[in-house]
Structure 1
Amino acid sequence: MKGLLQTLRDWRSPSPSTDGDLGTLLEAADARAPRPERHLWLIRLAEWLRRPLGRQDTPADSTSDPAPLRRLRLMLDVLEAHPEHARRVRTLLQSIFGTLDATTLLADFGFSPRSGFSSELVERLRTRLLPATPDTGDLGQLFQMVLHDAGDAAWLEAIDEATLKRLGALLLDEPQTRHWRGALIDSVQMLASQIRAVALSAAIRPRLDPALLADRPFFQLAQSAAQLAEAEAAGDGGAQLQQIRYLRALLSTCRRAIDSVREHLEEHGVSVDIVFQVEQVHERIDRIEALLGCLASPAPARDWQWLLAQLARGVQGRRSLGRLFSHHYSMLARKVAERSAATGEHYITRNRAEWLDMLLRACGGGLVIAGTTLMKFAIGALGLSAFWGGFWAGMNYAVSFVMVQLLHWTVATKQPAMTAPAMAARLEHVGDSDAAIEDFVDEVAHLLRSQIAGIIGNLMTVMPVVVLLQAMAWLVQDAPLIADRTAHYALHNLTLLGPTLGFAAFTGVLLFASSLIAGWVENAFVFHRIDSAIAWNPGFVRWLGPERAQRWSRWWRANISGIAANVSLGLMLGIVPVLAAFFGLPIEVRHVTLSAGQIAAALGTLGVQVLQEPGFWWCVAAIPLTGMLNVLVSFLLAFRLALRSRGLKVRERSRIHAALRRRLRQAPASFLWPTAQVEQAAAGRVSDH
């Protein structure tokens, strides 16, 4: 025995930072040691299993198996050859698992102890930032410290049948088997009670399908789990199997019932906390099914193996903030994208009449922005502090954008972030046929034409109107509306030779952010049924009158998204640069229509002689590039969000690109204005569908 242990001591890992070899580890197994030292022994054992094998350490057989599995077999060989060490290890493991509450691992691990998304976020931050202690009575916490490596689940799943039998024979006896069966039963009862509590809570119960609650499945689930415990206590194997089958049927019914909450959220608005609770119920149902597999199987080793591998995989999930955000915000992102898509359909023109209508509405928007531009200079002339200057500039933009909305006009740069989700919706079936790809190309052409019509309409109005107002000021008061110094400063800022293009791209981010805010606000408006409150709340009805309350309800439901988008965009355009300057970030905004208005205002102040200066034309040259970046950045960000929220992976990119290139060659004008040929072809495809 001493010779074999000495050989094991010589079998070293390449890493000098670990705690010795297997021989030293086995000699240190002491069931009478204090609890922290016993838990540390288990952690060191897991570290030894994960240590890489050197070339001289690789056994002749099973070379394709993971290194931890080969080390596990080696340890079993040593323990089977030396019963004294096997007894010490068995006693130590039994002292660890026999004194810890196994339900903290089987019933609690992987689930939030609280019902809210934000509280789970705080818990994960605490787990990531604060160290854990091995001096714990929580088996779930000890499990995280032992199997914390990303590869642990893989080698647990790779354990073969023979190795599982050896482990069971070495480490389990009849009392241990009874102990773990009792823990399984207790865990099933706890999980069933937790599912019932969440499903029947005030947040979830009203959103469940009443038809699926007719047989009271969540009440029966907890009762059936209690009856399973009674059958286990009575030693009635037949009654146990009957209750397990009944529990599985109830779990299926409960799963369908909790799924109906998603359907309600799709129609009536999304709450991240409710989505989180629904996911927690789903995961608890899955856990009960796994525990029932361990109880019902005549040879449960494989079921235990799968359960432990899933728990080990869950360790990584419990530490991941990104996974928490991406998983639970995906449904909200989809709802925001869908609401933006519904709005975005109004910004896409598909024929000549709609294109001309968009051009005219954009001209109206440019008329309002002309006044906005001059008001911006007036606010700047007041000499307000930085914050209040930015705030009132933002209010000026917000009021102007809302006015454009109420007059049913348009500002071109508001279109892309709204139209991108509508475009993404077209991609869901783009791989079905060539006709679907051509339909998508049609939508791209429609969208580009709409953007061009919007920008042209805005610029056609804003620049002449600003120049005209400046000319009227010269006639009336023999002075322009803005001073020479202000005009020169505007041209200096807006030149293409400066950071204008970077600021234009940043403005595209703000345009995208405003569309997100619009979707979130509209979702909250629908989720909390504010429109119904306006229509039927007694206080509102007394104040407004029944008919006016109904009209206000419909108006706010139709316009809340646009109001939120316009107000948020206006305030961000005014305040964000001020906040950035406070932190020393030289960030400004460059909105194509507002920039064009400022250039026109400078022209009206400095006179026609400024047309001879190259600096003026560098500013003019920046206008189309500013518009392109405003549109492109906001569209791409919204398009990417829409794709991810729908789970779309475009596998037909090459065919789409080929179809776009073919359209550019055959009908390039179709991307600029509606041509009769393309309109007829698109109409023919629609009629074929």
Structure 2
Amino acid sequence: MIGALRRWWSLRVWDLTALLNAADPRASRPERHLWLIRLLEWLRSAPPSQTGAERKPAAAPEPEAGGDTQPSPWPLRRLRHLLNVLERHPQHAEQVRQLLRAVLTGTDVSALLAEFGFAPRSSFASELIERLRLIGLPGTPDTNDLGELFQLVFHGHDDATWLAQIDAVTWRRLARLLVDEELAAHWRGALLDSIQLLAGQVRAVGMAATLRQRMDDAVLAGRPFHHLAQSAQRLAELDALGDSERLHEQAQQLRAELLACRQAAASVRNHLEAWGVSIDVVFQVEQLRERTERINALLTLLTSPQPERDWPWLVVQLAEGVRSRRGLRSLFAHHYSLLARKVTERSAETGEHYITRTRAEYREMLQRACGGGLFMAGTTFMKFVIGAMGFSAFWAGFWAGVNYAGSFVAIQLLGWTVATKQPAMTAPAMAAKLDGVQLDDAAIDDFVDEVTHLIRSQTAGIVGNLTVVAPVVLALQGLAWWIAGVPLIGETEARHVLHNLTLLGPTLVFAALTGVLLFMSSLIAGWVENAFVLHRLDSAIAWNPRIVRLLGSARAQRWSRWWRTHISGLAANVSLGFMLGLVPALAVFFGLPVEVRHVTLSTGQLAAALGTLGLAALHEWAFWLCLAAIPLTGALNLAVSFVLAFRVALRSRGIRLRERSRLYRALRQRLREQPRSFIVPPRDGTAGPAVPHA
């Protein structure tokens, strides 16, 4: 099958003789462009007689033009063969040269040099739409945009790789055969036009309010963006006068102005904490930086005494741009990294409140967790009430979400805690400890100490929640038996609990899913707080005339501070509550039997079932299987949410895979040698002596 496909493809690719005979500079524009596309297809394709090994990019060594013996990619070997043929047949070389001139003079070169690789409106959304268009819709060779034609010509996945391996001698041969004075003059004019276009775009983006207001005042004092367009115009005037010495001086001045512009754009990131993060702002900063780098590259070509030596680098970069623009992963990975960082940093601020480091803090966490367990007892019975009301799947999930969200918010406002909310918020706090730190043994030991603090805190939270929720639920059940003679839930509901929570069912899978929801709630919390800051809602609450008139000045100020302090926690609690309620309901719509398993709620439900069935339940295996699932449910709730949040936090700080492996290895070693430090705080409040690690 593979051999048949290769033979079919080889029939589609023209041979070199046919290509050279078809080179007609008088042909129509799409036919000329098609000829270039076919030429590159011929360069990439190996002849049918080649074996699979010979088809690989670096199949066999070949003497380079410089005399060294190096493995050469197949397109490079074919390019050298093409040059040999053209040098032996000047008439073919002239036809190819005339065709190339017709292509370049018939297209907008500035569209390649000044616009290719950049979003037309400096918007993340517009660039995303453009990439989706490139992926989903075919391009046409009938275009006067050299950037679009470049994408059709250099569409191969490895084009940038083999272009980068072309040696200087081959580039000089290519330039000598195909570039004459007329073509060189045309390219020089395009260079000057492109520099002016790019300078105008940098000036417009840099002076836009979204960036200007976020830049350092000290950097803006020099007015770096104001003179860019005039400097680029002056460059063109000096080139027209033929004054090479003053042209070089003007180019150096323009480079200095571009450096000041990049410094001003870089200062935007220092103000994102106060102003909030917008993905469009991040995208515009990156686009501005890349445009200044393109101008620098074009200035190098303009002032170089040997431009054929500097052109290859730009061609390779443009080919790299073709490859990167055809994927969405690089766009999201690059431009969302800073947003992920700021979201996790905002979660880190909240997460610090969940980490205990001393015995006094540990006892305080136990007390707060006991309060949370007390409130969750009422949440457990409200869940049974909602289930008994016979709502449809969606409305049952909605009111369950209201129950959970209301409980979580009340626990937050009372200063109590729910253990399972800790890890997703504390993982970013720990990753923040690694920011800007050299990962030596001391830094890793400090980080491991933080992990032990966190795990002890989570242990305290779970113990506090569970030791209160179960007795309170049993007490309420006993009170109902004493007053009304019947329990708060019937035997059918109690049996249903034993059937659902058993270790033999999908409980552990549902517990892991609940950990994912806990992680998502922390992301939502960071995102909402970032949006709160980005849109300056705290300032609006404090100073908006209508709000001040409604609340009064002093109360508006208090409300502003209150919302700024609590917005992250409220967003996390409300989003988590509704996800716990609605995700199972929405899954039913798709026929998926999905449920959630929250360790505190599961413990409360099991205690309620015991209160209904009485001591006889202790003689049933079903009860003990449910009880055995409780610690595993808690472990999965905590572990999944922590691992996901921690991985995102590490990635947002650029911690490499090898460094992450060192951290995990140090954690395992601490666990083997000092397991007690993960459960009970030492008397001095530290994690214990440092453990040597590799």
TM category (shorter chain) comes to: over 0.9
Residue 61 (structure 1) aligned with residue 60 (structure 2): no
Deviations 1:598-630 (A, max 9, x none): 111111222221121111111111100000000
CA 1:639 to 1:432, structure 2 compared with 1: closer, same or farther past 3 Å?
A: closer
Alpha-carbon distance in 2 for matches of 1:328, 1:544: 40
**Structure-2 residue corresponding to 1:40:** 34
**Structure-2 residue corresponding to 1:462:** 469
Question: Does structure 2 retain, via aligned residues, the 8 Å contact 1:430–1:440?
Answer: no
**Structure-1 residue corresponding to 2:541:** 534
Match of 1:122 among 123, 126, 129: 129
What SS does the corresponding residue of 1:679 show, helix, strand or coil? Answer: coil
Residue 272 (structure 1) aligned with residue 279 (structure 2): yes
Contiguous gaps of at least 5 residues in structure 2 = 1-5, 65-69
Contiguous gaps of at least 5 residues in structure 1 = 1-11
2:394 partner letter: F
Residue 589 (structure 1) aligned with residue 596 (structure 2): yes
Deviations 1:322-349 (A, max 9, x none): 0110111100100111111121111111
Question: Does structure 2 retain, via aligned residues, the 8 Å contact 1:231–1:239?
Answer: yes
Alpha-carbon distance in 2 for matches of 1:388, 1:425: 40
Deviation at 1:470, TM superposition (A): 1.3
**Structure-1 residue corresponding to 2:81:** 74
Alpha-carbon distance in 2 for matches of 1:338, 1:60: 53
Alpha-carbon distance in 1 for matches of 2:132, 2:436: 40
Match of 2:621 among 611, 614, 620: 614
1:43 partner letter: I
Residue 333 (structure 1) aligned with residue 340 (structure 2): yes
Residue 309 (structure 1) aligned with residue 316 (structure 2): yes
Deviation at 1:175, TM superposition (A): 1.2
Match of 2:201 among 189, 194, 202: 194
CA 1:164 to 1:656, structure 2 compared with 1: closer, same or farther past 3 Å?
A: closer
**Structure-2 residue corresponding to 1:7:** none
2:274 partner letter: E
Deviations 1:553-575 (A, max 9, x none): 11111110000000000000000
Alignment of 1:106-117 (within 5 A): 106-117=113-124
Alpha-carbon distance in 2 for matches of 1:637, 1:505: 11
Deviation at 1:659, TM superposition (A): 4.7
Cα RMSD of the aligned pairs, angstroms, is: 2.1
Alpha-carbon distance in 2 for matches of 1:14, 1:78: 26
Deviations 1:297-341 (A, max 9, x none): 011112111111100000011111001101111001001111111
**Structure-1 residue corresponding to 2:3:** none
Deviation at 1:160, TM superposition (A): 1.9
Alpha-carbon distance in 1 for matches of 2:127, 2:10: 38
The size of the alignment, in residue pairs, is 673
Alpha-carbon distance in 1 for matches of 2:677, 2:459: 12
Alignment of 1:98-177 (within 5 A): 98-177=105-184
2:63 partner letter: D
Question: Does structure 1 retain, via aligned residues, the 8 Å contact 2:677–2:687?
Answer: no
**Structure-2 residue corresponding to 1:491:** 498
Question: Does structure 2 retain, via aligned residues, the 8 Å contact 1:340–1:418?
Answer: yes
TM-score, length-normalised on structure 2? Answer: 0.94
What SS does the corresponding residue of 1:195 show, helix, strand or coil? Answer: helix
**Structure-2 residue corresponding to 1:6:** none
1:19 partner letter: V
Deviations 1:206-247 (A, max 9, x none): 112222222322120111111111222233323322221111
Deviates more, 1:493-502 or 1:257-266: 257-266
**Structure-2 residue corresponding to 1:554:** 561
Alpha-carbon distance in 2 for matches of 1:140, 1:13: 32
Question: Does structure 1 retain, via aligned residues, the 8 Å contact 2:86–2:93?
Answer: yes
**Structure-1 residue corresponding to 2:302:** 295
Deviates more, 1:463-472 or 1:232-241: 232-241
Alpha-carbon distance in 2 for matches of 1:155, 1:179: 27
**Structure-2 residue corresponding to 1:623:** 630
Deviates more, 1:48-57 or 1:82-91: 48-57
Deviations 1:427-471 (A, max 9, x none): 447765433333222222211111111011100111111111111
Match of 2:572 among 565, 571, 576: 565
Alignment of 1:659-670 (within 5 A): 659-660=666-667, 663-670=670-677
What SS does the corresponding residue of 1:219 show, helix, strand or coil? Answer: coil
2:568 partner letter: S
What SS does the corresponding residue of 2:12 show, helix, strand or coil? Answer: coil
Alignment of 1:251-266 (within 5 A): 251-266=258-273
Deviation at 1:385, TM superposition (A): 1.3
Alpha-carbon distance in 1 for matches of 2:213, 2:426: 34
**Structure-1 residue corresponding to 2:460:** 453
Question: Does structure 2 retain, via aligned residues, the 8 Å contact 1:13–1:52?
Answer: no
Alpha-carbon distance in 1 for matches of 2:386, 2:498: 18
Match of 2:678 among 671, 675, 688: 671
1:50 partner letter: R
CA 1:390 to 1:311, structure 2 compared with 1: closer, same or farther past 3 Å?
A: same
Alpha-carbon distance in 1 for matches of 2:124, 2:109: 26
Deviation at 1:675, TM superposition (A): 2.2
Alpha-carbon distance in 2 for matches of 1:512, 1:59: 52
Alignment of 1:180-579 (within 5 A): 180-428=187-435, 432-579=439-586
Alpha-carbon distance in 1 for matches of 2:456, 2:222: 56
Deviation at 1:588, TM superposition (A): 0.9
Alpha-carbon distance in 2 for matches of 1:392, 1:634: 25
Deviations 1:113-150 (A, max 9, x none): 12221221111111101111111111101100101112
**Structure-2 residue corresponding to 1:49:** 43
1:487 partner letter: A
What SS does the corresponding residue of 1:676 show, helix, strand or coil? Answer: coil
Deviates more, 1:499-508 or 1:109-118: 109-118
Question: Does structure 2 retain, via aligned residues, the 8 Å contact 1:430–1:652?
Answer: no
Identity over aligned pairs, percent: 64
Residue 636 (structure 1) aligned with residue 610 (structure 2): no
CA 1:64 to 1:364, structure 2 compared with 1: closer, same or farther past 3 Å?
A: same
Question: Does structure 2 retain, via aligned residues, the 8 Å contact 1:521–1:560?
Answer: yes
Question: Does structure 2 retain, via aligned residues, the 8 Å contact 1:330–1:645?
Answer: yes
Question: Does structure 2 retain, via aligned residues, the 8 Å contact 1:431–1:437?
Answer: no
Deviations 1:529-571 (A, max 9, x none): 1111111111111111111111111111111000000000000
Alpha-carbon distance in 2 for matches of 1:39, 1:542: 68
Deviation at 1:13, TM superposition (A): 9.1
1:244 partner letter: A
Deviates more, 1:632-641 or 1:381-390: 381-390
TM-score, length-normalised on structure 1? Answer: 0.94
Alpha-carbon distance in 2 for matches of 1:450, 1:17: 68
CA 1:100 to 1:429, structure 2 compared with 1: closer, same or farther past 3 Å?
A: closer
Alpha-carbon distance in 1 for matches of 2:181, 2:435: 56
Match of 2:10 among 11, 16, 26: 16
Deviation at 1:61, TM superposition (A): 2.3
Question: Does structure 1 retain, via aligned residues, the 8 Å contact 2:359–2:685?
Answer: no
Question: Does structure 2 retain, via aligned residues, the 8 Å contact 1:50–1:68?
Answer: yes
What SS does the corresponding residue of 1:218 show, helix, strand or coil? Answer: coil
What SS does the corresponding residue of 2:505 show, helix, strand or coil? Answer: coil
Alpha-carbon distance in 1 for matches of 2:11, 2:594: 48
Question: Does structure 1 retain, via aligned residues, the 8 Å contact 2:418–2:465?
Answer: yes
1:97 partner letter: L
